[in-house]
């Protein structure tokens, strides 16, 4: 089954304790992305990756890091989490076919609470 998986699905942590949210897709997609969703703000892009070893900042990258060492994996790293990073996080992937219509496939979401 084609899917994007995220782990963990729920996480409660404390300020300053480094954490990693994993994301994996089995569709051989070139493009992967992380979004955060906050009430009243919709989804905002944090980082994206066009392919292995190619990453770039989205609209709200502060406080986050990513890496893309393999095509299928795109972990989101919070080196020193703060309460304002409490949010619902989505990983997404899509094939990179410029000029053509294609949907982004979203993972199930990770609900993070930083106390």
Partner 1 sequence: AQKITQTQPGMFVQEKEAVTLDCTYDTSDPSYGLFWYKQPSSGEMIFLIYQGSYDQQNATEGRYSLNFQKARKSANLVISASQLGDSAMYFCAMREGGGGADGLTFGKGTHLIIQP
Q: Does 8 bind partner 1 (CB under 8 A)?
A: no
Q: Are 89 and 112 in contact (CB under 8 A)?
A: yes
Q: Please list every residue from 63 through 92 that binds partner 1, using CB under 8 A.
A: 88, 90, 92
Q: Would you state the structure tokens that stand for residue 56, as one six-digit string?
A: 């770039």
Spatial distance between the Cα atoms of 104 and 42, rounded to a whole number of angstroms: 16
Q: What does the per-residue mask of binding to partner 1 show for 28-67, with x meaning CB under 8 A? A: ---x-x-x----xxxxxx--x-x-----x-x---------
Strands 10-13 and 110-114: what pairing? parallel
Interface pick for partner 1 out of 63, 77, 106, 113 (rule CB under 8 A): 106
């Amino acid at each position: 089954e084609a899917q994007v998986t995220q782990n963990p699905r729920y996480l409660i942590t404390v300020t300053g304790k480094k954490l990693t949210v994993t994301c994996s897709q089995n569709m051989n997609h070139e493009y992967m992305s992380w979004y955060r969703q906050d009430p009243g703000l919709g989804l905002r892009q944090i980082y994206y990756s066009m392919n292995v070893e190619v990453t770039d900042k989205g609209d709200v990258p502060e406080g986050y890091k990513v890496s893309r060492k393999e095509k299928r994996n795109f972990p989101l790293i919070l080196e020193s989490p703060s309460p304002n990073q409490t949010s619902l996080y989505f990983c997404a992937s899509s094939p990179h076919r410029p000029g053509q219509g294609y949907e982004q496939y979203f993972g199930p979401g990770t609900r993070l609470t930083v106390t």
